[in-house]
Structure formats: structure tokens, C-alpha cells
Amino acid sequence: MAAWSERLAGVRGVLLDISGVLHDSGEGGGVPIPGSVEALARLKRSQLKVRFCTNESQKSRGDLVGLLRHMGFDISEGEVTAPAPATCLILKERGLRPHLLIHDGIRSEFAQIDTSNPNCVVIADAGESFSYQNMNKAFQVLMELDNPVLISLGKGRYYKETSGLMLDVGAYTKALEYACGIKAEVVGKPAPGYFQSALQEMGVESHEAIMIGDDIVGDVGGAQRCGMRALQVRTGKFRPSDEHHPEVKADGYVDNLAEAVDLLLQYAHQ
């Protein structure tokens, strides 16, 4: 593999995944990943532009940022690209009235959305609310539509909480796709449009940007398909087999955000 100086040359902007990079979520909001609070602070003191790009769809953006600030992270709501606000824009643009299969923690994001007489289903990481009854209700709504529209906030397979690996929304989206014979529209990583909007909000072209995430497919593969570079951290849901993934090869593997920031501050922007 080329030297880090070559791999990181010309990077002007950094997109950061949140869960598994900054912190591990879990009971009471979870715990920061060692070194990440300080690493983020150093990154933000540098000349590099920084933005957060998350698939978090169980908590509202405000609640998520509140938790992270409480852990000591330098982060504000305006710096975060999150799927629920992006979905609300789409719903309004297209006149869609969703049946919501979501966690109560994110319901406030949809407060301004008309949910009467639904003509689509929005599915997010509903966690414990993924009961058979709730899944069946969403299925029945879709089956009654002439042109069933399913919008999925991300399509992650699983994530890591302090208590262990947890099924993510993608598994349940697959279930509804199969049952209804349809394909969901994904709002979140790895959808190209989602990365593009984060880049636009950061004001950096894709070839000058790098993604840092713990998901070899959703973060690394998705960002690379948009023309960005991408590093995988060996924290969060990282598994050793990711470094030999059959389809995706990161531009670099680092132990954690702290090592990524060390390398970026040394070699980027040259």
C-alpha cells in the first residue's frame, strides 16, 4: 500500500461517523471510545473542515448531540447530517404521508409531518418497537398501496452497543422488501445522495474529502463509490475479517479515531 503521505495528500475535509467512532451507544447513552474526545478536539483546531455523517435513527439529532456534548465532544446540531431531517425534506417535496415504524426517541423529528391516510411507510431503527404487531401493520399498509413506497433511514445490518451486537434497521427493511416484493429507498449511508448532501454542507469536493467510519460497507464502501477516500477504525462494529472484505478495501485501517487524526494532521493538506 502507498505511504500515508500519498494516501492522505490533498484532504481538506473529514466526514466522521458517530456511533463506533466517537462512542459506543448503549444503556444511559453509552460510553466514549478512549481517545476520541481529545482526538476530535485536535481535529477541530486544525485547518481541516469537519462534519458528522450518521445513520442514527433511534434518537433525534438534538438528543444525540446532547448526549455527545455531555461526554465531552465538541459537536453541535448544525454540524450533523442525520437521516430523519433528510427524510422530512423528501416527504414534503413529494407530498408523502408516512406510516411511521420508528422508535419513540425520534418521533419529535416528524412532528411537522402529516401522517393521516398514509401513502408510504418510513422505517427507522425502532429497536424494541420492532414487535411483530408493528411490523405487520407496516406490511399491511404497504400491501394496500397501489404503488408501495418504503423509505428506510439507513440500511445498516447491525451496530455495537456496550451490551453486544444489535440488529439494525436494514434487517427489518429487508424483511418488508421481501414480504412485499419491493425495494426500499434508502436515506442514509451508503446512498450516494446522502454522502453528497453531507459534502455539500461541508463545502468540500469528494476528491478532497475522507470518511472515517467503523462500517466497511456502509461507511467505507459507500464513501468510496462517491469518489471520497475512507478509513476504517478498529472500534465499534469493526471485525478483523473486515480487513479482508471480498468487495471493499479501505484506503487505510487505523486502531481508532485518535490514530486517524494523528495521521491526518501529519499528512493531509500537503
Residues making contact with its own copies (CB under 8 A): 126-133, 135-136, 139-140, 143, 157-158, 164-168, 170-172, 174-181
Residue closer to its own copies by CB (options 220, 260) is 220
Least distance CB 65 / its own copies (angstroms): 25
The answer to whether 100 and 129 are in contact (CB under 8 A) is no
Angle between the N-to-C axes of helices 257-267 and 36-45, in degrees from 0 to 180, rounded to the nearest 10: 20
Residue closer to its own copies by CB (options 93, 247) is 247
Least distance CB 245 / its own copies (angstroms): 10
Least distance CB 104 / its own copies (angstroms): 14
Least distance CB 265 / its own copies (angstroms): 35
Q: Is 42 helix (H, G, I), strand (E, B) or coil?
A: helix
Residue closer to its own copies by CB (options 27, 128) is 128
Residue closer to its own copies by CB (options 93, 128) is 128
Closest by Cα among 138, 132, 181, 174 to 154? 174
Count the neighbouring beta carbons within 10 Å of the beta carbon of residue 260.
25
Least distance CB 34 / its own copies (angstroms): 24
Residue closer to its own copies by CB (options 180, 198) is 180
Under DSSP, the state recorded for 214 is S
Cell for 179?
414480504
Cell for 225?
463509490
The answer to whether 233 and 256 are in contact (CB under 8 A) is yes
The answer to whether 226 and 220 are in contact (CB under 8 A) is no
Least distance CB 103 / its own copies (angstroms): 10
Least distance CB 263 / its own copies (angstroms): 29
Determine the Cα angle at 180 with ends 175 and 181, to 5°.
95
At 26, which helix (H) or strand (E)? none
DSSP string, 101-144: E--GGGGGGGTTS--SS-SEEEE---GGG--HHHHHHHHHHHHH
Residue closer to its own copies by CB (options 95, 181) is 181
Residue closer to its own copies by CB (options 172, 195) is 172
